[in-house]
Amino acid sequence: MTTDNRSQFVKLEDICPTKKLDLGTVRERIDAAIAHDKAEKTGPEYWRSLEELAGSPAFEEALHREFPKGASE
């Protein structure tokens, strides 16, 4: 009696199907994920750089409180 050993093996395509993604498709998926995260707004929001923080109204208010216009040097 012969046994077919090929039935014991799993094909690579069954585990990791090869799909070719182009750059446009990947960018669309990333943009959709970012838009979804912005819409959900779960969790705290952090700033990534001082440039981003400097443009915020809260920073401007703190800056004017700390350094009033009429203060001398």
Q: What is the pLDDT of residue 69?
A: 80
Residue 67 DSSP SS3: coil
Q: Is residue 24 part of a domain?
A: yes
Q: What is the pLDDT of residue 1?
A: 47
Q: Is residue 27 part of a domain?
A: yes
Cα 48 to Cα 4: distance, rounded to the nearest angstrom: 58
Pair 39, 33: CB distance under 8 Å: no
Q: Is residue 62 part of a domain?
A: no
- As a whole number, mean pLDDT of residues 11-35 equals 78
Share of the chain above pLDDT 70, in %: 71
Stretch (H or E) spanning 59: helix 57-66
Q: Is residue 67 part of a domain?
A: no
pTM: 0.33
Q: Is residue 56 part of a domain?
A: no
Q: Is residue 34 part of a domain?
A: yes
Q: Is residue 6 part of a domain?
A: no
Confidence category of residue 73, pLDDT binned at 50, 70, 90: low
Q: Is residue 20 part of a domain?
A: yes
Total structural domains within the chain: 1
pLDDT in tens, 31-51: 998 888 878 776 677 777 888
Q: Which domain holds residue 22?
A: 13-41
